[in-house]
Structure 1
Amino acid sequence: MRAPLPTDEEARLAALHEAKVLDTLPEDDFDDIALLASEICGTPISLVTMVDADRQWFKAKVGLELDGTHRDDSLCAHAIHQHDVLEVPDAGADRRFADNPLVTGDHKFRFYAGAPVLLDGTHAVGTVCVVDHVPRELTEAQRRALRCLARHASVQLELRRYAQHAGDIADRMRQLDRMKDSFLAGVSHELRTPLTSIRGYLEMLQSDGFEPETSQRFLSVIQRNSDRLLRLIDDLLTVSRLSDGGIRLDLVELDLAELVHQVSTACRPLAEHRDVALHNLVDHPVPARGDSRRLGQALNHLVVNAIKFTAPGGEIIIRTTAGAEPELLIIDTGMGIPAAELPHVFDRFFRSAAADRMAAAGSGVGLSIVNLIIEAHHGSIHLDSEPGVGTTVRITLPRP
């Protein structure tokens, strides 16, 4: 049975489309929500769904290969009619779903529970839901957790809309005002997202009934978001101090090859997770003079950036070239940077259009910090890039 349209359908769809979440790339915050829903409720399938005009799209998923379904087949299309959990103990015995292809077909959905994801506290644009292949019921603790996870998903969408509004306003202002508002929106988003996540998981930890493994995963997410906050604050302090000449560099003779080895080793797990090949071709000593901690910070940011914007199956090569001064190259096969954006990549608070489309974390100060660190070493940094081909970063440092 196809679900009837909600009474607020027009406003509901407007809020969903305004969030600009449909067909975006996977994001850790939403993936964590789906994974925790599965673990807490003990189901093989869990989803973060968005119900569009004629389809249901999965922003995050566990245990299901589908990217979405037609809205006519959507169980979540029924769940968005209420502001509480819709629980279906046995879909095969429920006249609304008995003939549903997800129930009668190969997927064999029997149990379903979905908590609505609300925007503006009113419009249900999707759900956090769990599915099992056998009839069952949730415990009250599991229902509370599902509601909490749905609220967390709502906050993520609200933050996305907030950043979008700030960007729209900035487009109508002068360049200085545009940079200021973009910075404020970015920093607000970057601060509030991990803080909201921490608050949500702490709220769930205060509830009873969770296994130690689940509680430990909550603590891991809290730890990760705390680290994210500390990195952002450190970046903001760094760009301020470097701009004012307030950071003292501890200049020593160092081996650039060893520094590259340390950075590539630290970044390799991330590259492997994203199916990006990371090749360190620096196999001979490269004497240079610099602050190893600050140079490591700059190189780490450049390599992580290359991984972030390189599609699965791509590769990143790090190598040096001989010359009057040590020169380091970081070459990727990523999406590249449009010519119009290249002059601005080292500007403070600048975010590329690609970063906004991907909803990539960041306040727009990373490459500015890299540039300031290299300049403080009396070196130079240059980017060559072509959309769809890749980017080459060329760094030159003084000899000892």
Structure 2
Amino acid sequence: MRHEGSGQNGHDRTFLADSARESADGVDIAADHAAFSAAFAAPREHHDFIDDFVDLVGHHLRTPLTAIRTLLELLADDSGGGLDPATARRLVGAVQANSDRMLRVIDTLLLLARARHAESARDHVPVDLAAVVDRVGSAMAPAADGSGISMTVEATDPVWTVGDPVLLERAIGHLAGNALRFTDRGGRLSLRALAEPRPAIEVQDTGVGIPPERQPGLLRPLVLTAGTGADDDAHLGLGTVSAIARAHRGDIDVRSAPGRGTTFRITFPTAPS
């Protein structure tokens, strides 16, 4: 199926769905614990992973939690009603924004643990990448239209691999979401499922691009890359996309230049016949 769209509404870069709340409801704590235990027990990059994890928790969780406590103290101390309603609303909004940030980080960490745990391939099943790309394109179409970005989805014929369909959809969705976030009104975004020479997905945009000096380490899980013009959540998510690709024995390639857009391609093994 091929979708084409161009936006008509105001530019809005806050479109990305916050799936943290969705995944938090009914979460299986025992399964998450097992996944993290498997991740930390893995011999590969064991110490680096733990060091990165500690650094990330300190930055992504402790910082917003400290901000929340400070904001709540300001609200609690206002027993005399000295704060005007507009200021009180701004403080409450800041509490909500920091809470949402922590939920997104926790959701990403759980996803990363699932990706590392999935490397055993025990739960992998046949997956049609074209169908996954098509679902992501349909979900992103309203956001592309609202941001004034022309989006095409090229996923006509089945493209089979094996893997975890939930993880694959999250990876493709994150790449597409980042592409929309960092592409200006009037830009273009393309999502493709490719069968030859190996099954692959490609996400290409005409956005701001990534400077060469910022690209090394961009796909390392749990590592923050400062000063790229993107927020920390985006960088954390790119590392998770890399982990998902690796869990599927896939290769991820990035081609980008400032002002000339970015192309991400993940190539997967061919599904056994």
What TM-score does the superposition give when structure 1 sets the normalisation length?
0.45
Residue 323 (structure 1) aligns with = 196
Superposition RMSD in Å: 4.2
Output the CA distance in 2 between the equivalents of 1:385 and 1:313: 19
Residue 377 (structure 1) aligns with = 248
Residues 109-188 of structure 1 aligned to structure 2 (within 5 Å): 183=56, 186-188=59-61
**In the alignment, is the contact (CA less than 8 A) between 1:374 and 1:381 conserved in 2?**
yes
Residue 386 (structure 1) aligns with = 257
**In the alignment, is the contact (CA less than 8 A) between 1:179 and 1:350 conserved in 2?**
no
Q: In structure 2, do the counterparts of structure 1 residues 249 and 330 end up closer, same or farther at CA, with 3 Å as the change threshold?
A: farther
**Aligned counterpart in structure 1 of residue 111 of structure 2, from 238, 241, 253:** 238
Residue 151 (structure 1) aligns with = none
Residue 279 (structure 1) aligns with = 152
Q: CA deviation at 1:268?
A: 2.4
Match of 2:213, SS state, is coil
Amino acid at match of 1:232: V
Residue 354 (structure 1) aligns with = 228
Q: In structure 2, do the counterparts of structure 1 residues 332 and 190 end up closer, same or farther at CA, with 3 Å as the change threshold?
A: farther
Amino acid at match of 1:333: T
Output the CA distance in 2 between the equivalents of 1:311 and 1:193: 34
Match of 2:202, SS state, is strand
Q: CA deviation at 1:364?
A: 3.4
Aligned pair count reads 219
Q: Which has the higher strand share?
A: 1
Amino acid at match of 1:351: T
Residues 1-400 of structure 1 aligned to structure 2 (within 5 Å): 183=56, 186-188=59-61, 191-192=64-65, 195=68, 228-240=101-113, 242-243=115-116, 250-348=123-221, 349-355=223-229, 360-362=231-233, 364-400=235-271
Q: CA deviation at 1:272?
A: 2.6
Match of 2:216, SS state, is helix
Amino acid at match of 1:254: V
Output the CA distance in 1 between the equivalents of 2:107 and 2:70: 20
**In the alignment, is the contact (CA less than 8 A) between 1:278 and 1:315 conserved in 2?**
yes
Q: CA deviation at 1:228?
A: 4.4
Output the CA distance in 2 between the equivalents of 1:190 and 1:310: 29
Match of 1:366, SS state, is helix
- Specify every segment of 5 or more residues in structure 2 that has no aligned partner in the other structure, as ranges: 1-10, 15-50
Q: Which has the higher helix share?
A: 2
Question: More displaced, 340-349 or 227-236?
Answer: 227-236
**In the alignment, is the contact (CA less than 8 A) between 1:255 and 1:287 conserved in 2?**
yes
What TM-score does the superposition give when structure 2 sets the normalisation length?
0.63
Output the CA distance in 2 between the equivalents of 1:181 and 1:290: 29
Q: CA deviation at 1:386?
A: 1.2
Q: CA deviation at 1:384?
A: 0.7
Larger radius of gyration: 1
Q: CA deviation at 1:365?
A: 1.9
- Give % identity: 31
Cα displacement string for residues 160-206 of structure 1 (whole angstroms, at most 9, x for unaligned residues): xxxxxxxxxxxxxxxxxx97897466414873499579959x98xxx
Output the CA distance in 1 between the equivalents of 2:143 and 2:95: 19
- Specify every segment of 5 or more residues in structure 1 that has no aligned partner in the other structure, as ranges: 1-24, 29-177
Amino acid at match of 1:332: D
Output the CA distance in 1 between the equivalents of 2:155 and 2:101: 30
